[in-house]
């Protein structure tokens, strides 16, 4: 049984008045925000990467989320003065979601704008990869590891380990502290970060050491 996510009253009213919003399935299209409805635990339980793991008692929240800033702040926390004396450690995030049948045959990606730190990401129990750095965005392809349809749920799980301290010259936070997006694209598509715009340098402004003799 997965953790239950309660909608705010105004959102619940909108859902009742417009049933189209009630469908939580992700359909093909542009990048879709994936911040709502996560489960979180500041523990390191065995098996949390598996889809059938019981997370019903976990905390329900929306991203972005930083568990360090929640405290408690203590002088003996390993983060120290530069890290604002906040707690760090290990935490898990899990999200249950479905994909529209229309997305079958498409390429599915998940994009994280920032996870602090040493993140491991799993989809339906399959390990997608490890990311030691917490500052940069990254993505994984889910194609081939997800199911489609309203009765075929998927589970994305993220383990964050920010226990190695001090980790920076300043405050870093812990967890999925930036936005998450899911992309459902046609099999033939432009790869992320593959477009580069350049212009030839003007010979007039070219430094002498970069000048090349005519061929």
Contact 44, 93 (CB under 8 A): no
Contact predicate 63/160, CB 8 Å? no
Average pLDDT, the chain: 85
If one compares 5 and 144, the residue with the highest pLDDT of the two is 144
Contact 167, 117 (CB under 8 A): yes
Alpha-carbon gap, residue 54 to 130, rounded angstroms: 23
Residue 15 above 70 pLDDT?
no
pLDDT band at 93 (very low <50, low <70, confident <90, very high): very high
List all residues 6 or more positions away from 131 whose beta carbon is below 8 Å from its beta carbon.
Answer: 112, 115, 118, 119, 121, 138
How much is the average pLDDT of 109-119? 96
Q: For residue range 35-44, what is the model confidence (pLDDT) as tens digits?
A: 999 999 999 9
**pLDDT mean over 89-94:** 97
Which structural domains are found in the chain, ordered by start?
Answer: 9-187 (2.60.120.260)
- Residue count (the chain): 215
Banded model confidence at residue 168, pLDDT cuts 50, 70, 90: confident
Q: What stretch of H or E contains 16?
A: helix 9-17
pLDDT top residue among 195 and 51: 51
pLDDT at residue number 1: 62
Examine the pLDDT at 211 and tell me if it is beyond 70.
no
Q: Which has the higher per-residue pLDDT, 150 or 205?
A: 150
Segment 193-214 shows an average pLDDT of 66
Closest CA to 107 of 12, 44, 182, 211: 182
Angle at alpha carbon of residue 47, lines to 42 and 51, rounded to 5°: 100
For residue 19, pLDDT beyond 70: no
DSSP bridge partners of 116 = 175
Q: Are 87 and 99 in contact (CB under 8 A)?
A: no
- Residues 6 or more apart whose CB falls under 8 angstroms from that of 202 comprise none
């Amino acid at each position: 049984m997965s953790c239950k996510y309660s909608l705010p009253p105004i959102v619940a009213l909108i859902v009742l008045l417009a049933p189209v919003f009630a469908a939580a399935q992700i359909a093909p299209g542009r990048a879709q925000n994936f911040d709502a409805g996560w489960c979180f635990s500041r523990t390191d339980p065995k098996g949390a990467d598996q889809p059938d793991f019981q997370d019903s008692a976990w905390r329900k929240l929306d991203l972005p989320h930083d568990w360090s800033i929640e405290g408690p702040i203590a002088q003996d926390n390993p983060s120290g003065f530069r890290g604002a004396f906040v707690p760090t450690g290990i935490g898990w995030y899990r999200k249950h979601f479905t994909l529209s049948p229309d997305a079958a045959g498409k390429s599915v990606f998940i994009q994280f704008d920032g996870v602090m730190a040493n993140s491991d990401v799993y989809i339906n129990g399959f390990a997608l990869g490890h990311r030691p750095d917490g500052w940069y965005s990254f993505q994984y392809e889910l194609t081939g590891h997800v199911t489609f349809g309203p009765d075929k749920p998927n589970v994305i799980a993220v383990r964050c380990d920010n226990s190695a301290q001090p980790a920076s010259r300043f405050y870093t936070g812990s967890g999925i502290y930036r936005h998450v997006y899911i992309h459902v694209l046609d099999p033939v598509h432009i790869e992320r970060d593959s477009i580069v715009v350049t212009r030839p340098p003007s010979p007039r402004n070219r430094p002498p050491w970069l000048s090349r003799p005519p061929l």
